[in-house]
Chain A
Amino acid sequence: MISGGSDTSYRKQSVVNRRMFILSAAKLFVFGGIVAKLFSLQINQNKKYLTLSDKNRLREWKLPPIRGDFQDFFGNTIAGNLKVYQLHIIPEQVENFNNLIIRVKDILELDQNTFNKIIKKKNSQKPWETLIVSENLSWDQFVKINFYLHELSGVKPVLSVARSYPYNENYTHLLGYVAQASPNDLLNNEKIKKRHVPGLRVGKTGLERSLENDLIGMNGVQRYEVNAYGKRINQIDHIEGQKGKSIRLTVDTKIQQVCNELLKDRAGSISVMDIFTGDILAMHSTPSFDPNLFLYGISYENWENIVNNPKKPLINRSITGLYPPGSTIKPIVALSALEHNVISPNFKVNCSGKIEMYGQTYNCWKKKGHGVVNLRDALKVSCDTFFYEMSRRLGVDRLNETAKKFGLGNKVFSNIFNEERTGLVPSTEWKKNALGRGWVLGETLITGIGQGYIQTTPLQLCLMTAQLANGGFKINPKIVVNKKDPTFEEIKSTMNKNLEKKILGPDFDDAMLDLEISNSKESITHKPLFRNQENIKFVLEAMFASTNEVRGTSYSSRIEDKKYQFAGKTGTSQVKRITEAQRELDLDISQIPYKDRDHALYVAFGPYRKPRYAMSIFIEHGGSGGSTAAPMAKKLFKVVIDRHDEREKIKEDNKNLKI
C-alpha cells in the first residue's frame, strides 16, 4: 500500500520540492556571501594580513654594534676591541634548563656566587632572550665547552668583541671607560636606546661618553622565523652591522706615558698643548686606574680600592679639579696691569717680606723679603709683595677681564667632556651675586697671587700659558683630529694677518670691533687677546728669566740646550690659611700632614726661541712648585720637543694623503 493517496503524495512532493527550491536559492546566496568574505580577506586585505602574518613569524635579533676605535695622533690604537670567547645559552632551545646549567657549571668550574648570578639573570629576562653565561671565557674553558657541545643543546660558544684599553691606566681619564648601559643612559641618549641590546657597553665618562654617538656603530640584524611559542625555526637573513667611527686624537701616547711615569704615586695632572693648533698632546690625571677592570663589571674588591683611595682616582683632575692657581697666575696679573696701563715696567716695590694693608698683614713667600724689585724681577722671583701692591692698583675687575680672556674661568672644551668644570675668576659683581656681600679690597690682594676665591683647572692654566706663549692669540684647544682643522702654517698666517690689522687699527677696542664685524670666520679665530703685543713679550721674557736666570724660581730645572730651552712660572698654592705660628716654624714638607700640604704647580712653554708647546703641571699637596713640579717639566720638555719632528712627519704624510 502506498502511503497516503496519490493526491496527497503529489502535494507532499510538490511542497517539499518547492521548499527545497527556495532553500537552494538561499544556499547559493550564502555561498556567495562566503566567497565575498574570502575575497575581502584574501584579495582586498591581503597586504594587511600578509604583514600581520610576517609579524607573527619573523622576529629580529639585534646584534651588538661594534664600537669604533680610538687612535692616538700616530695611529696607535688606544681603545680598541678585543676578541673574547663568550658562552651564550638560548633558553628556548634548552629542554631542561636546570640540568643544563648545572652541567655547564661543572664544565666551566664556576663558583657558587657566579652561578647564582647567572640564575638571577636568567629569571629576569624573557625566554627568547640570549642568556650570557660568561662574557670572557678562558681559552681552556672555551675548548672544554666545545668538547662537550654535542650534549649541550642550546649552548652557544660565541666569538665576540669587548672593549680593550691596551695602555691601561694611561688614558683612563681622557678616554673614560665603558660599562653596561644603565636605564639612565637609555633615557638620555636616543641612539643608545635605538641600538641597545642586552649587555651593550656604552661610554660612562670621558671621550667614550661624549663621542658615544660616533663610536656606537650600527647593529647587525639577524632575522629568524619563529613559531607560535617563540622558538627559532630558521634564519631568514643576516644584515652585517657597521663598526662605529674610528676617532683619531691629537694625543701622543709616548708623551702620555711619560706623564704617567712622572706622576707616579702622586695625585696630580699634566697637560701638554700645541700653542698654535691647540692640539692636546697629553692630558693625564693621577692616580689613575685600569679601565679594563670595568669591562665585565668591576669586582667588589677592585671597586673598593678605587673608591676608598684617599687620592680619589675617579676624578679627572685636568679638567674637573679646581685649585687656586697660586703664582702661576702672576703672568696674567702682570699682563693685565701692563695692558691697563696701571704700572709701567719700571714700577718698583720694596719687598720686606710682608706688607701691612687695611689693618692686615700680607706676607711674601720669602720671609726675609726680596728688597726693591721691578716687574720683571717680581715675576722672576715670584715676589708676592710686589703683586699685592700691583693688584691693589689694578683692581679685581680688570684682572678678571684679562684672566677670562686668556681662558681662566671658562671651560676649555665647549662640549667634549661633560664633567669639565668652569672654575672661578672672582669679580666684585660675582661676589655680590653669589655671596651677597661686597668685595673687600684685601681679597684683591690675595687674588693677585692666585689665592682666595680664584679657582682654575690645570688645563685652563695650560691654555692660558699657550695663549701667552703664542704671542697672545686665541686658540681652539682640541683633542679630536679633524681633517678640516687649519694647519700650523694657516694659523700662523692668520695670526700675522690679525696682528697687522690690529697695528693698523686706530685703537685697541675699535680694532677688536672691526674684527668682530668683518664677520669672516677667519679673522675671528685666532684673534689677538692683547692691546699691545709688547706687553705679552715682556711677560714671556720675565717667565724666561724665572726659569733661566739665577735666582729665578725654577732656575734649577732649566735646560740650557737652546733646542729644549723653556720658560715657565712656578706656583705654590696654599690649601689652608697659615697661621703666624706655623709661619715661624717653617716646617719641612714631610712634617706637614698630607692634606695640609701646598699644591705644587708649574706652567711652561718652549722652546723659548720659537715657542711651540705649553704645559701645565699640577701636583696635589706636592709642596712647592719650584721643587716638585718644575723638575718634571724639565724631563717632559725633552720628550715633547723630541717628539716634535715625528709629529710633523705624520702631519706631512697626512697632507700628502689628502692630496
Chain B
Amino acid sequence: MLQETALSGQTTFFQKLRSLDYILLFCILTLGVISSLSMYSTEGGEVLYHTKSHVIRFLVFFSMMLIFSFVNLKFWHTTSYIFYLVVLCLLIWASLYGIKASGSQRWVDLYFINLQPSELMKVAIIMCFAKYYHRTQIHLVNNFKNLIIPMVVLILPILLVISQPDLGTSILIGLSGLVVLWLSGVNAKYFIYSSLILLISLPFVISFLKPYQKLRILTFFNPDRDPLGAGYQIIQSKIAVGSGGLSGKGFLKGTQSYLDFLPEKHTDFIFTLFSEEQGFIGSVLLLLLYAIIIYRTAKIGASARSFFGKLFCYGYASSIFIFVTVNMSMVLGLLPIVGSPLPIMSYGGSSMLATMIGFSIVMSAKIYQKQIIA
C-alpha cells in the first residue's frame, strides 16, 4: 500500500517519516556522539571552543539533514547543475577574494559562516554527474562529447582547488568524480589509459608541486628522514595509534593527544586520537560504523528507482568510503599526509555541511525511492 502511494508521490508525512532509514540515521547519530566525545577529549576533558562548536554544528546540520530529507528527490535533480555552478562560483570567489589562512586561500566569508566551497564540491560533483548520466543514454556514455564534458566539469573545480592550494581536497574531489564516472559506465579502458598517462606525467606533476607537498611525499616513503620536521606528524600519529593497543589507553587518557604530541588532532588526526584512546577494538568498531553507513547508503541506491537517485547514492557511498580510506590510511602511514578530513568525525563546518547535504539527498532517495524522475 505504502509503496503504491509512494509511487504516486502522495504519501502522508507520517508515511514519509516511517520510511526514513533509521539504521543509517542511528549510525550517523552515533558517529556524531563519538565525534563530539573525541572533540571533548582533544580539549583535555573540557568543553571548550572546538567541542561546543562541533556539537552545535552537528546538531544544526543533522536537523537540517532531517528536514531536507523530506524534500522531493526531484528538487535535488532539478537543482543539481545549479548547485554545482553555485559551488564553482564560490570556488572562483574563494580564489579571488577568499580568506587566507595558513598559506592557502580556501574560505569565503558568507558573514554568518566561513565556508570552504571545496568541501561542498565533493558533494556537488556527485550530484552533477548523477544528473548528467541520468540524462545520458547508455550507448552514448562513451562517445566523445559525453567524455569531454564530464572531464571539463571535473577538472575545472580540481584546478581551482589545487590553486588554493589544497592538494588533499582536490584529490578527494577528483576521486569522487572518477568513481561516479566509472559507475555510470564509462569504459574501463579510459581509466586504464588515463592512469597510464598520469603515471608517465607524474614526474612533471611532481615538479609543479609546492616544496612542502614534495616533502610530504618524501616523508611518506621515509618518515625517519626528518623526525622532528616533516616526519613528525606521521611518526607521532603512528606512536599514538600503536601505543593504543588492543583496548586503548582509555577515554581522556590518550597521552599522545593530551600532551600535545599529536598534531592537528581536531581535524585530520581525530582518528589517531580515537584509536589511541579506544584501541584496536574501538577503531575496528568505528570502521564498522562507517562500513554500515556506506552499506546502507549503497542499499538505498540499490532500491532507488530513478537513475539519478541510484547513481548519487552509489557515488556518495563510494566517496564516503574514499574519504574514510584516505584519511585512515594517511594517519596510519599507508598514504602520504594530505589534508583530508574524516567525515563527521573531523572538526570543520563546511565538511559537516557537505556531508549532511549528501545524506539528506540519500535520505530523500530513500523516502522517494519509487519516484521516477523524467
Contacts and interface: CB of A to CB of B under 8 A. Distances in A.
- Are A and B a genuine interacting pair, yes or no? yes
Nearest to B262: A228
B243 to A, nearest CB: 4
A340 interface: no
B332 A41 contact: yes
A226 interface: yes
B245 A38 contact: no
B185 A16 contact: yes
Interface stretch (A50-58, A111-119, A365-373, A496-504): A50-58
B283 to A, nearest CB: 5
Contacts of B183: 16, 19-20, 23
B168 to A, nearest CB: 18
Contact of A23 (B138, B259, B318): B318
Considering residues A9, A42, A46, which has the most beta carbons from chain B within 10 angstroms of its beta carbon? A42
A49 B242 contact: yes
Contacts of A41: 238, 241-242, 332
A21 to B, nearest CB: 10
Contact of B138 (A15, A52, A57): A15
Contacts of A50: 242-243, 245
Interface stretch (A26-34, A426-434, A642-650): A26-34
A138 B330 CA distance: 59
B218 interface: no
Nearest to B240: A53
Nearest to A37: B332
B242 A42 contact: yes
A471 to B, nearest CB: 74
A8 B137 CA distance: 7
A31 B287 contact: yes
A35 B321 contact: no
A45 interface: yes
A57 B258 CA distance: 10
Interface string A377-403: 000000000000000000000000000
Nearest to A5: B137
A2 B135 CA distance: 10
A12 B260 contact: no
Given A35-B287, A37-B334, A3 B138 contact: no
A56 B256 contact: yes
Chain A contact residues, majority secondary structure: helix
Interface residues on B, range: 35 or more
Given A16-B183, A24-B298, A228-B259, A45 B242 contact: yes
Given A11-B138, A38-B280, A20 B328 contact: no
Given A16-B183, A35-B287, A46 B246 contact: yes
Contacts, number: 142
Contacts of A30: 321, 325
Contacts of A23: 179, 182-183, 314, 318
Contact of B301 (A20, A48, A225, A226): A20
B287 A228 contact: no
Contacts of B371: none
B284 A13 contact: no
Interface in B251-277: 255-256, 258-261, 275
Output the residue of A23, A41, A57 with the most chain B CB within 10 A.
A41
B236 to A, nearest CB: 8
B310 interface: yes
B90 interface: no
Contacts of B259: 56-57, 225-228, 233
B239 interface: yes
Given A42-B275, A43-B245, A27 B184 contact: no
Interface residues on A, range: 35 or more
B307 A49 contact: no
A31 B307 CA distance: 27
B243 A16 contact: no
A226 B255 CA distance: 10
Contacts of A16: 183-185, 307, 310-311, 314
A42 B179 contact: no
A48 B261 contact: no
B223 interface: no
Given A4-B137, A23-B318, A50-B243, A43 B280 contact: yes
Nearest to B295: A24
A12 B185 contact: yes
B294 interface: yes
Interface in A198-254: 225-229, 233
Contacts of A39: 280
B241 A53 contact: no
B244 interface: yes
Contacts of B241: 38, 41-42, 49
B260 A49 contact: no
A17 interface: yes
Contact of A56 (B137, B139, B239, B374): B239
Nearest to A58: B255
A440 interface: no
A630 B160 CA distance: 105
Interface string B292-332: 00100010011000010011001000100100010011001
A57 B255 CA distance: 7
Contacts of B334: 33-34, 37
Contacts of A12: 133, 137-138, 185, 307
A280 to B, nearest CB: 57
B298 A46 contact: no
B291 interface: yes
A1 interface: yes
A142 B351 CA distance: 58
B138 A46 contact: no
B275 A31 contact: no
B117 interface: no
Contacts of B310: 13, 16
A38 B283 contact: yes
Contacts of A226: 259
A87 B286 CA distance: 52
A82 B275 CA distance: 52
B372 interface: yes
Contact of B135 (A3, A33, A35, A46): A3
Interface string B121-136: 0000000000001110
Interface string B228-241: 00000000101111
Contacts of A2: 372, 374
B287 to A, nearest CB: 6
28 contacts: A3-B137, A3-B307, A8-B137, A9-B307, A11-B138, A12-B307, A13-B310, A16-B183, A16-B184, A16-B314, A19-B182, A19-B185, A23-B183, A31-B291, A35-B287, A37-B329, A38-B283, A38-B287, A38-B332, A42-B283, A46-B244, A49-B239, A50-B242, A53-B239, A53-B242, A56-B239, A56-B261, A227-B260
Interface of B: 133-135, 137-139, 179, 182-185, 236, 238-246, 255-256, 258-261, 275, 279-280, 283-284, 287, 291, 294, 298, 301-302, 307, 310-311, 314, 318, 321, 325, 328-329, 332-334, 372-374
Q: Which 5 A-B pairs have the closest CB atoms?
A: A49-B242, A53-B243, A228-B260, A227-B259, A42-B280
Given A3-B307, A19-B182, A52-B239, 7 more contacts: A31-B325, A37-B332, A42-B241, A49-B238, A49-B239, A49-B241, A227-B261
